[in-house]
Amino acid sequence: MDRDESLEKIKQEVLDLKSSPLYEDRVANRAFPVIGEGSHEAEMMFIGEAPGENEAKAGRPFCGRSGKLLDELFLSVQIKRESVYVTNIVKDRPPKNRDPKPEEIELYAPFLDRQIEIIKPKIIATLGRFSMDYIMNRYGLSAQIGPIGRLHGQVFLTTISGQNVKVVPLYHPAVALYNPNNKQELLRDFQILKTLI
């Protein structure tokens, strides 16, 4: 099975995931799961935590206000959004955009693990503390976990399926929507990504 078929299989499985506590909300709100988008051969993968309202309506990751800011951050370092892969750990929207619960992360994370295995990115940029904690715990960096305020913009080295991978924790773009001072921090952190390409 090639990458496209393998990723399509994940999409179908998430669409049919009736065991998810978020499935009924998806149906009731006529929303979509948000699987991910971008290049299936991307060297860089960006992982958020869960879709928001705009994302669930469109079935696309980061297409609301946070997405506009993410696009601006990509532009600041000449990264084309279509050249990377953007996804979340949790594929369905938690009600009222609340934080994902541990059991929701546990349920959806295997889909993310498979996306990583299929796409084989060389760089994983986590967006927010939930994806940072998950990726660092999952891929042998748990001893180095700390507050995102201390770890953002740093580069951690790990191995996934025999391939060297750089993990870069970043603030979620939403932090700059609540506090414009954080935007400069995000812009600086994205400059680090540019050096890794």
**The residue to which tokens 């991910």 are assigned:** 36
Of 179 and 16, more confident = 16
Segment 29-41, tens digit of pLDDT: 999 999 999 999 9
> Could you state, in order of their start, the residue ranges of all structural domains in the chain?
3-196
For the entire predicted model, the pTM comes to: 0.96
Q: For residue 77, what pLDDT is reported?
A: 96
d(CA 2, CA 5): 5
Q: What Å distances lie between residue 178 and 36, 65, 119, 172, 183, CA to CA?
A: 25, 11, 33, 11, 10
Best CA proximity match to 7, nearest among 32, 38, 46: 38
Mean pLDDT of the region 58-76: 95
pLDDT of residue 1: 74
Name 149's Cβ contacts closer than 8 Å, sequence gap at least 6: none
Q: What CATH number is given for 3-196 in this structure?
A: 3.40.470.10
Rg (alpha carbons) of the chain, rounded to whole number = 16
pLDDT digits (tens, 9 = 90+) for 78-88: 999 999 999 99
Amino acid identity, position 43: E
Provide the edge-to-edge strand list for the sheet that holds 156-160.
37-38, 85-88, 44-48, 123-127, 163-170, 156-160
Element (H, E) at 170: strand 163-170
pLDDT in tens, 109-165: 999 999 999 999 999 999 999 999 999 999 999 999 999 999 999 999 999 999 999
Cβ atoms of 38 and 86 within 8 Å: the answer is yes
Distance (Å, whole) CA 89 – CA 78: 26
Of residues 38 and 177, more confidence is placed in 38
Task: Please tell me the predicted confidence (pLDDT) of residue 21.
Answer: 94
Query: What's the residue count for the chain?
Result: 197
What is the CB-side half-sphere exposure of residue 84 using CA atoms within 13 A? 23
Of the CA atoms within 13 Å of residue 79, those in its CB half-sphere come to 28
